[in-house]
């Protein structure tokens, strides 16, 4: 379900380096929860954000999807090959989607399990201004004006180094021909959240200068996005003040229901509270009534998740804290043995932990349940994993010891071997502990280069590096 409002187009602009970047909303993709067109020169990217109002059933993660949809028409090209309709995403589109995802994902509330999708589509590419930086800023701006509870904004800039001078958002030609540095930096008003770089041996102090320069420009981008939100932003589906108020007034009621009826039945208390705080919708309900109901239900979902975890964490820590700590101390064990012990311990915790509330439906005779229901088992496992993770983190951060016993200044033994495969043009095996990389090389003539058919300036590639991660490398089965 999507709330739509009629709004006039709104435009804000900011100068980053010597280029103007413009954000416009209200003209395209009006049914998306947030849609922003970002322009620099004649490069234009449409970024949209859409979410579901209901949490995904059984999800214990944030289901965020980022799609970058390159289309050749944006650069006035027709795709090469027999099929003229674009298929799978290009390598550049996949990498851009990852750069959008990484800094944005942590800025959603913990426990937010509502499906969210970001789609960035280059509409026009002038081969001067790279579209990836615009897509990253556009995704943040679309989330800012949407009702999704994004705790941003974030800004993204690229820093180049030409003739020993830093250049903010260099052109594609400058990047390809002149720049010794390709540094992409993303951050908030307060700090940097992602850095990705390729460089020709840049001194560390120069790189720090580039980060400071990037953050100054990022602050400008964050400010202009805040300005856009103030103009046309929609009410958020999750109101932190409302969540705090409901938790303060209703958490004891939910705790009591957990203690008397169990984790699953506590959802009934949430429904009762929701009905009291946000009456059911009718044919006469206004948009404010819909927003109020979504905010109340979102807040209650987060509070219920938190209280369910709280209810099982204490007993698990009290009864199995020593066992979990002993697991982190087994430094002499191999990775496989440690993994097997961890699975066995978690299974034992799930089966034998004693909880002070009903752990499943009552039997016919009215006695307590014999086995835990699926929800209780899920939250017990979640609590055990959280406690174990906290113990491992403290061991590394406080005791300065890694799980395998190494100190912070120790590395595993490294071995390098060449000539592993006798009939290839080149081969090498790199081994560090149980991590191995096998590289096989084939040489060819210049005419065997790869033709590049995307929105970049690159037309031919003579060096191809293909990376494979087979499932057996981590001891698992799966698709190749």
Read off the pLDDT of residues 231-257 as tens digits, 9 standing for 90 and up.
999 999 999 999 999 999 999 999 999
Q: What is the mean predicted confidence (pLDDT) over 149-175?
A: 93
Read off the pLDDT of residues 389-416 as tens digits, 9 standing for 90 and up.
999 999 888 888 887 788 888 888 899 9
Q: What is the mean predicted confidence (pLDDT) over 321-341?
A: 83
Confidence band, pLDDT 50/70/90 cuts, at residue 318: very high
DSSP of 120-159: EEEEE--SSS-HHHHHHHHHHHHHHHSSS------EEEEE
* Total Cβ atoms within 10 A of residue 45: 26
Read off the pLDDT of residues 262-272 as tens digits, 9 standing for 90 and up.
898 888 888 89
Predicted local distance difference test score (pLDDT) of residue 299: 92
CA nearest 298: which of 239, 216, 363?
A: 239
352, burial (CB in 10 Å: exposed 0-12, middle 13-18, buried 19+):
exposed
Read off the pLDDT of residues 416-430 as tens digits, 9 standing for 90 and up.
999 999 999 999 999
Query: Does 26 have pLDDT greater than 80?
Result: yes
| CA distances to 55, 102, 204 from 114, in Å | 4, 18, 41
Predicted local distance difference test score (pLDDT) of residue 366: 56
Strands 64-68 and 114-124: parallel
Confidence band, pLDDT 50/70/90 cuts, at residue 97: very high
What is the average pLDDT value for the chain, to the nearest integer?
A: 89
Query: Rounded to two decimals, what is the model's pTM?
Result: 0.85
Read off the pLDDT of residues 456-467 as tens digits, 9 standing for 90 and up.
777 788 888 888
Query: Does 307 have pLDDT greater than 80?
Result: yes
Predicted local distance difference test score (pLDDT) of residue 335: 75
CA nearest 70: which of 132, 158, 22?
A: 132
Where do the H-state alpha helices sit in 405-456? none
């Amino acid at each position: 379900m999507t709330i739509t409002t009629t709004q006039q187009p709104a435009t804000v602009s900011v100068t980053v380096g010597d280029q103007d970047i413009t954000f416009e909303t209200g003209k395209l993709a009006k049914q998306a929860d947030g849609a922003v067109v970002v322009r620099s020169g004649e490069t234009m990217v449409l970024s949209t954000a859409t979410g579901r109002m209901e949490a995904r059933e059984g999800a214990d993660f944030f289901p965020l999807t980022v799609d970058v949809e390159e289309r050749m028409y944006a650069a006035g090209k027709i795709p090469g090959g027999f099929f003229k309709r674009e298929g799978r995403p290009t390598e550049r589109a996949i990498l851009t989607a990852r750069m959008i995802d990484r800094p944005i994902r942590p800025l959603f509330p913990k426990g937010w399990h509502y499906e969210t999708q970001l789609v960035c589509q280059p509409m026009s590419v002038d081969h001067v201004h790279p579209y990836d930086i615009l897509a990253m800023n556009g995704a943040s701006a679309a989330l800012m004006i949407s009702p999704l509870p994004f705790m941003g904004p974030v800004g993204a800039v690229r820093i180049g180094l030409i003739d020993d001078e830093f250049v903010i958002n260099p052109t594609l030609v400058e990047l390809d021909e002149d720049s010794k540095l390709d540094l992409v930096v993303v951050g908030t008003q307060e700090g940097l959240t992602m850095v990705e770089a390729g460089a020709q041996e840049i001194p560390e102090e120069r790189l720090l200068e580039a980060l400071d320069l990037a953050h100054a420009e990022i602050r400008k981008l964050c400010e202009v996005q805040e300005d856009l939100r103030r103009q046309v932003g929609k009410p958020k589906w999750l109101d932190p003040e409302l969540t705090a108020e409901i938790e303060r007034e209703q958490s004891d009621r939910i705790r009591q229901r957990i203690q008397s009826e169990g984790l699953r039945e506590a959802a009934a208390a949430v429904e009762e509270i929701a009905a009291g705080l946000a009456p059911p919708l009718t044919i006469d309900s206004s948009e404010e009534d819909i927003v109020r109901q979504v905010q109340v239900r979102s807040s209650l979902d987060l509070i219920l998740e938190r209280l369910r975890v709280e209810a099982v964490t204490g007993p698990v820590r009290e009864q199995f804290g020593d066992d979990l700590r002993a697991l982190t101390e087994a430094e002499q064990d191999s990775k496989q043995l440690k993994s097997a012990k961890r699975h066995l311990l978690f299974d034992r915790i799930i089966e034998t932990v004693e909880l002070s509330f009903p752990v499943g439906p009552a039997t016919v005779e009215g006695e307590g349940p014999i086995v835990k229901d699926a929800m209780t088992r899920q939250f017990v496992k979640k609590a055990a994993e959280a406690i174990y993770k906290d113990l491992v983190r403290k061991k590394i951060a406080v005791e300065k010891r890694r799980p395998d016993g190494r100190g912070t200044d120790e590395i595993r033994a490294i071995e390098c071997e060449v000539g592993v495969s006798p009939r290839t043009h080149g081969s090498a095996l790199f081994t560090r502990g149980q991590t191995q990389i096998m590289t096989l090389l084939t040489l060819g003539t210049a005419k065997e280069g790869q033709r590049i058919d995307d929105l970049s300036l690159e037309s031919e590639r003579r060096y191809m590096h293909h990376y494979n991660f087979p499932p057996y490398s981590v001891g698992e089965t799966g698709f190749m």
